Structure 1
Amino acid sequence: MLSTLSAFYGHLTEVGVVPANPAALNRSRLGLSSTARDASPTIRLTASQLRALLDAAARLPNRTRHRDLYSARAVAVVALLTLGLRVSELVGLDRDSLVVSGGEPMLRVLGKGGIHREVYLTQLAANALRDYLTEGDRTSKASTPALRGRTSAGRTPLIATRDGGRCSRFDVNALLRRIAVQAGPALADVADRVHPHALRHAYVTIALEQDARIQHVQADVGHATISTTQYYDRGRRTRDTTAADLVEAAINAAGDVRRTSG
């Protein structure tokens, strides 16, 4: 029964109907109730494949006059998804969601149930976001439609469409599929099944493979089953209580291997 439900939610996630598969994480390793036979239908991307997605995003074909902005946005989307964000959280981010706390850049993310959490930016994600925002600001000076991204409350989406509006889940799903196809052999077998939750799933699995503390991973991804103790521990979130840097190191190491073998 549970595996059937998992497969069903996996399909809904892939087609973008729901943002995440509630059975996608390795529940036994996260200390959740599970059976030994519980398996996730979500594809398991490796650090090398995440690196391939980032590289492909940077060279994504685009014939519009804003091709630099287009590729910068593609890289930023992939980089942010490698932080374990849900697609709904990504598209809900505003420019003022990007803050600095204790000298560290982070995102204030609105997760499920209206719960906010702090997501630390890796250097990889910070650089990608800086490049995208810089290019976006440069482009918007000569393109007034970019102002349409502002709502009546003055909110400006962090990741925007070409005309400055807020990206939808469909936009992100479609972009990620194009990037996966562009990645070539590295993702040839799974390109048609790459979706935002696959990157979130990869964040968790890679972090655990790098021996990150489970509590840190749960806090990073904002999992609904964080214990009461962990809830009260949120006030002490520091750079040392995130697995993001471990995942980034794995992605960068995979990139070094790809360049050496190429």
Structure 2
Amino acid sequence: MFEYRPFVDQFLDYCRYHKKLSEKTVRAYKIDLSQYALFSDTLSKQALWDYIECLNKKYKPKTVKRKLATLKAFIHFLLLQDYIDFNPFDKLETSIREPVLLPKTIPLDVIAKIISFSYQQIGSAQSAYQMKCAVRNAAVIELLFATGARIAEICTLKPENVDLLGRSVKFYGKGSKERLIPVENMAVLSILKRYRLLFEDNISVSGYFFVNKLGRRMTEQSVRNMLSSYCNQCGVEMHITPHMFRHSFATLLLEEDVDIRYIQRMLGHSSITTTQIYTHVTSSKQKEILKTKHPRNKMDFQ
């Protein structure tokens, strides 16, 4: 019987140093493989079959697919290194059907209300410290909506990747894929320049563009908390998350007739299929088009 456990650390190093995967991904792989090790000491077809059944009883389809993807990646590594000579996943049914969940978006008037409130906070600040924090918060919100970036990309943004003279921001997405997003709105550029000037020393020390009161990088949770607080204060009853700005960015551009391939590139999706989910949430735009543009509307038989 093949003992796979001694090769787990080699696989994690392979992911870390050869494939250049993020430390977050490597940690997730380690957790998934540790979980499988508690379930079985073999990578046989029967063990995998039983494991899939066990996962389906405990987790949602998306989680099951991720855990199986980890195992498949590990087995691919074992095959690559000639530690095994067959793939136990061959002829094993592993397709997991996920329910299609439409992305939750924020109405444009609500986005405007949140952005407006963020600027009001600057004007009503009672101290220099409060003013600085308010400028930073407004800059974060503006950049979320202006670029459609993931919250993790915003929070790990490096100062050298923010080119305010060239009006662009460089993000590194999933799999360290690089994409350059232009920033052409003057108000967005202005608040980013104001923020950078106020936090120049902290940015230089921390090595990150957005910093917290401790001079370290701003965390994803602190952005979520800030948004929640702002929404409560300005009377927005929706539960707003940073990722909803990304969904809204894509959906609103699609409703403005922007080609989906451009949106795909700006979001950093490797496949157009991922981006196409936004076509399901533009029914109001379709209704407007058919109401105003359909040739039948020009026919009058009376």
* TM-score > 0.5, shorter chain as reference: yes
TM-score band by shorter chain is 0.5 to 0.7
1:122 corresponds to 2:184: yes
Alpha-carbon distance, 1:134 to partner: 2.0
Question: Do the aligned residues in 2 keep the contact of 1:91 with 1:169 (CA within 8 Å)?
Answer: yes
Question: Cα deviation per residue 1:160-188 (whole Å; 9 max; x = unaligned)?
Answer: 1023210111111111111222232xx22
Correspondent of 2:205 among 150, 153, 158: 150
| Secondary structure of 2:136's aligned partner | helix
Alpha-carbon distance, 1:219 to partner: 0.8
Higher RCO structure (Cα 8 Å, ≥6 apart): 1
Alpha-carbon distance, 1:129 to partner: 0.6
Question: Cα deviation per residue 1:79-124 (whole Å; 9 max; x = unaligned)?
Answer: 0110200011001101111126xx7410111111011110111323
Amino acid at match of 1:50: I
Amino acid at match of 2:205: R
Counterpart residue number, 2:142: 79
Amino acid at match of 1:214: I
Counterpart residue number, 1:217: 263
Q: How does 1:54-203 map to 2 (within 5 A)?
A: 54-60=115-121, 65-82=128-145, 83-99=147-163, 104-123=166-185, 124-137=187-200, 140=201, 146=202, 150=205, 155=207, 157-184=208-235, 187-188=236-237, 190=238, 193-203=239-249
Q: Determine the C-alpha separation between the residues in 1 that align with 2:143 and 2:131.
A: 18
Runs of 4+ in 1 over 4 A off after TM superposition: 4-8, 61-65
Aligned residues: 178
Amino acid at match of 1:166: R
Alpha-carbon distance, 1:49 to partner: 1.3
Alpha-carbon distance, 1:55 to partner: 0.9
Alpha-carbon distance, 1:62 to partner: 6.0
Q: Determine the C-alpha separation between the residues in 2 that align with 1:173 and 1:88.
A: 11
Alpha-carbon distance, 1:150 to partner: 2.8
Alpha-carbon distance, 1:128 to partner: 1.7
| Secondary structure of 2:210's aligned partner | coil
Q: Determine the C-alpha separation between the residues in 2 that align with 1:197 and 1:7.
A: 19
Q: How does 1:11-26 map to 2 (within 5 A)?
A: none
Q: Determine the C-alpha separation between the residues in 1 that align with 2:117 and 2:63.
A: 29
Counterpart residue number, 1:53: 114
Q: Cα 1:7–1:177, aligned 2, differ >3 Å: closer, same or farther?
A: farther
Gaps (5+ residues) in structure 1?
Answer: 9-34, 141-145, 228-262
Q: Determine the C-alpha separation between the residues in 2 that align with 1:224 and 1:176.
A: 29
Q: Cα 1:64–1:111, aligned 2, differ >3 Å: closer, same or farther?
A: same
Q: Determine the C-alpha separation between the residues in 1 that align with 2:180 and 2:199.
A: 24
Q: Determine the C-alpha separation between the residues in 2 that align with 1:208 and 1:161.
A: 34
Identity %, equivalent residues: 19
Q: Mean alpha-carbon deviation: is it higher for 73-82 or for 44-53?
A: 44-53
Q: Cα 1:159–1:47, aligned 2, differ >3 Å: closer, same or farther?
A: same
Larger Rg over CA atoms:
2
| Secondary structure of 2:168's aligned partner | strand
Question: Do the aligned residues in 2 keep the contact of 1:55 with 1:183 (CA within 8 Å)?
Answer: no
Structure 2 length as normaliser, TM-score?
0.53
Alpha-carbon distance, 1:63 to partner: 5.6
Alpha-carbon distance, 1:215 to partner: 0.8
Question: Do the aligned residues in 2 keep the contact of 1:108 with 1:117 (CA within 8 Å)?
Answer: yes
Instruction: Output the aligned Cα RMSD.
Output: 2.8
Q: Cα 1:177–1:224, aligned 2, differ >3 Å: closer, same or farther?
A: farther
Alpha-carbon distance, 1:7 to partner: 11
